[in-house]
Structure formats: C-alpha cells, structure tokens
Amino acid sequence: MPDVTKTAAPADEAVDTPSVVAAAAPQQEKARSLWGDAWHDLRRNPYFIVSSVLIFFLLLIAALPGLFTSASPTAGDLVHHYVGKPELGKIGSEGWLGYDIQGRSVYARLIHGTRASIIVGVAVTAIVTVVGSIMGMISGYFGGVIDAVLSRITDIFFGIPFLLGAMVVLQSFTDRTILVVVFALAFLGWTQITRVMRGAVITVKQADYVQAAKALGAGTTRILFRHILPNAMAPVIVVATIALGGYISAEATLSYLGLGLASPTVSWGVDISAGVQAIRTSQHILLYPSIMVSITVLAFIMLGEAVRNALDPKLR
C-alpha cells in the first residue's frame, strides 16, 4: 500500500489564529455613559446651541460690562430728561436707546443691570441645589423617622406661596441688597429640589452597585457621595437649570413691586419699576429691560428643556 503521510499545511494556508480573527473583526464602538450620551445629544440639539450662545453672551456682559459701554449707569444729566428718541445713526453709543427720568443712559443701565440679575439667579440656584440635594439625600437614603420629619418640614415650606413668602421676608429688611434678595429667594426655593432628589435617591439606593458597596463595608458618606449622588443628579440638574430663569424673573417682579433691589443698585427690575411711572410718554424705559428679562428667562428655559431631553431616555 502506498505510504500516506500527513504533511503540515503551508504557513500561508494555516488556519486563522484568534488574534488574526480579532484583528479582522470590526471594532465595536465603545459604549457611552449617561453623561457622555447626553453630551452627544446636546451637541446636536439646536435649542442647546442657541441657549448656550445667549447665556454665554449674557455672562460676558455681566462679567465685563466695560466692553460694551463706557457710560456710567448712575450719572445723569437732566438735559436728557426723558429723551426717548433713538439715535439710530449712533448704535452702541451712550444714548442710542434713550434716557430715563434723571437723564441716565438706558443702554448703560441695561448693560450694567445684567450683573445683578445674573448674580441673583445663579446664587439662588446654587444655594437651593446644595441645600435641597443634601436634605433630599438624607431623607431618601435613611427613610423612617428622619424621612418623615424632613418630608413634613419640606411640605410646610412648600405650602407657602413663593413670591408672597419672599415679600414677607424682604419686608423684614430695610436695606435690601443683592445678598438679602438672594437669601429671601433661597429661603423658600429649596423645596422642589429636595423632593426631586429624595425620589431619585429612593430609586438609586435599590441598585445592585449600592448593595454591593454596603456588603463590602463602604461607609455611609462614601456611598452617598460616590455612588448615589452622581447617579441621582440628572433630574436635579434639569430642575435647577429651568428654575434659574424663574429666579431671575422673581427678582425682577420683586424689584418692580418695590420689595426687591432698590437704587442705587442697577438692575432690570428697578428700571422696569421706574418705567411704569412714565409708561404713557416714555415707553422705552420699560420696554428694553423687559425684553432683556424675557430673553434671559427664555434662554435658561430652553437650556433646561434641552438638558431634560438629553438626560431622559423616555423622551428620545
């Protein structure tokens, strides 16, 4: 019989090794986290782009008003008393938006008033987010008596009308500065954040990674701030972003009623309040700060809606 022997296959005809197969296989896209997926969606959302540009421009005005006007918002000349005719050929000049009752430039006050409104909105939002998040985490994580007590305290404050309560608080102060207005709004504005955070923590604390952290002996502080807080912040960020515009509107409302900021502080609410006195003859004093308040509130509401759509999988 013929000698039949098995010969090794040539190197170029060898069976593909696992490394070769892995190299030939198409590379799978790396899975994105919740925040990475949200940022991926936000960059393609026109609402986010438009609102971000508006907010950046407003923050630039608040931080560096000298870049937009060299006129003083408090120096007036009675020669320009209630002059409201726009100087269309001098756009960007001191008086191109007219003057108020004391001959002060409406444009200069519009630019410098941005800082007070933005500071109030951002400061109040920061305070209520920190206070509400801490109270919501404690209430939702520990439960029991602690949850019952904190929830009843939250319900008591939540039952107080926001603007009415702020008016009562501000009546207690004779000198209503920016700090006082921030305190009055933050004193009653933390309840919604607390409720949202409490509900998010109750859901997150049942997750497997939290139970595993407990089983491994992680402390309460570590569990709260390393495992629960990052995964419960998404709804809080959405609520805080939308509420920021509301706080700016609340400051303007209180100043309009004479209970918020007052002269010599320059703010849009103060100018709106002064413009009402001459609404029949000099509407420009009321019109321009009202437009700025509307644009600012709209920008933050649009930003909050964009963030909500990016962070909520149900809305995709």
Average pLDDT over residues 104-120: 90
pLDDT bucket at 18, cuts 50 / 70 / 90: very low
More confident residue, 48 or 280: 48
Can you give the pLDDT at residue 84? 55
Cβ 126 vs Cβ 247: under 8 Å:
no
Can you give the pLDDT at residue 88? 42
| pLDDT winner (highest mean) among 124-128, 159-163, 227-231 | 124-128
pTM of the complete model? 0.81
Res. 203: pLDDT tops 70: yes
Average pLDDT over residues 235-257: 90
Distance of alpha carbon 305 from alpha carbon 310, whole angstroms: 9
Can you give the pLDDT at residue 309? 82
Can you give the pLDDT at residue 89? 41
pLDDT-above-90 percentage for the chain: 37
CA 20 to chain CA centroid, Å, is 51
Average pLDDT over residues 200-205: 91
Can you give the pLDDT at residue 248? 92
Distance of alpha carbon 256 from alpha carbon 275, whole angstroms: 9
Distance of alpha carbon 42 from alpha carbon 126, whole angstroms: 22
Average pLDDT over residues 167-190: 90
CATH number attached to the domain at 111-315: 1.10.3720.10
**List of long-range contacts for 156-160, beta carbons under 8 Å, 24+ apart:** 157/188, 157/190, 157/191, 158/191, 158/192, 158/195, 160/188
